[in-house]
Structure 1
Amino acid sequence: MPLTVKDMMEAANAVVKRVDTAFAQVALGQGGLLLDVRDAVELQQTGRAKGAHHIPRSMLEFRADDTLQSHDPELQKDRPIVLYCAAGGRAALAGKLLKDMGYHQVYNLGGLSDWINAGGEVSEP
């Protein structure tokens, strides 16, 4: 039977821990990466969490694969990675993808609003 988005979200949420901003800030303080997986248009409209690295969800596989020339050196399999998007769905799916690719410490912060509501700073668009 074909997968549905609901099926994919359940699988992602089962393996990617949802964390709060306090957890994220501790992970970042220990060398972790805050990763924004939203589209470029969203960053232009709302900015991004201060210090966040941006890789759109649509390009993540190509940036995460360390055997490709397009690999992003910010992505290291032993580095904690805290993902966020607009509401948390893409972050969960992106997190599962990274785990499937061998990344070990992958977390879902949720959406940019979760960061902002907890007092996280935002870089202007």
Structure 2
Amino acid sequence: MNKNYKDLLAAAHAVIETVPTDKAMGMLKDDNIVFVDLRDRRELEREGRIPGAFHCPRGMLEFWIDPESPYHKDIFAQGKTYLFYCASAWRSALATQTAQDMGLTPVAHIAGGFSAWKLNGGPVEDVSAK
């Protein structure tokens, strides 16, 4: 193995912005910020999500960002700041680096992920099962 997950995370953290949880909470009402939840649907239904967050499963991120992809989502072409999160900030760190490498800017992720958000008393909205 040339690189393990810790190596990949360290490389991502060297080039991305990490927003502290309390600062992210203060950004929630900002219309120029798009909170992007990268967790899978089961996690959302079990744990809830940050109110108003856009759900983008991690496996679809590259396809939804790329305007040339048949799966492109217009939300990624709005010229806003994209704030990614997952459960523990591992997937979001890698996703932030990928989005940045693809040219989506500005992008950042939430330190500690959704777990830290809840632990620090951040608001959570329920997500009903499909």
Task: Name 1:115's counterpart in structure 2.
Answer: 117
For 2:100 and 2:88, the matched residues in 1 are separated by 20
Q: Which moved more, 1:59-68 or 1:114-123?
A: 114-123
How many equivalent pairs are there?
A: 125
Change (3 A) 1:27 1:52: closer
**Secondary structure at 2:27's aligned position in 1?**
helix
**Secondary structure at 1:29's aligned position in 2?**
coil
Work out the percentage of aligned pairs sharing the same amino acid.
37
Task: Name 2:9's counterpart in structure 1.
Answer: 9
Task: Name 1:69's counterpart in structure 2.
Answer: 70
5 Å-filtered alignment, 1:75-86, equals 75-76=76-77, 78-86=79-87
Aligned-pair distance for 1:77?
7.0
5 Å-filtered alignment, 1:32-111, equals 32-76=33-77, 78-109=79-110, 110-111=112-113
**Secondary structure at 2:39's aligned position in 1?**
coil
RMSD of Structure 2 on Structure 1 (CA): 1.9
Q: Which structure 1 segments of 5+ residues have no match?
A: none
Change (3 A) 1:27 1:11: farther
Aligned-pair distance for 1:55?
0.4
- Hey, which bits of structure 1, 4+ residues long, moved more than 3 A? none
What amino acid is aligned across from residue 3 of structure 1 in structure 2?
K
TM-score, normalization by structure 2:
0.86
Aligned-pair distance for 1:60?
0.6
Aligned-pair distance for 1:15?
1.3
Change (3 A) 1:4 1:99: same
For 1:19 and 1:3, the matched residues in 2 are separated by 26
**Secondary structure at 1:95's aligned position in 2?**
helix
Aligned-pair distance for 1:17?
1.2
What amino acid is aligned across from residue 12 of structure 1 in structure 2?
A
TM-score, normalization by structure 1:
0.89
Q: Which structure 2 segments of 5+ residues have no match?
A: none
Change (3 A) 1:2 1:60: same
Task: Name 1:19's counterpart in structure 2.
Answer: 19
* Superposed CA offset, 1:6-51 (max 9, x none): 2211111111111123433337515110000011111111111111
Aligned-pair distance for 1:119?
3.2
For 1:28 and 1:103, the matched residues in 2 are separated by 21
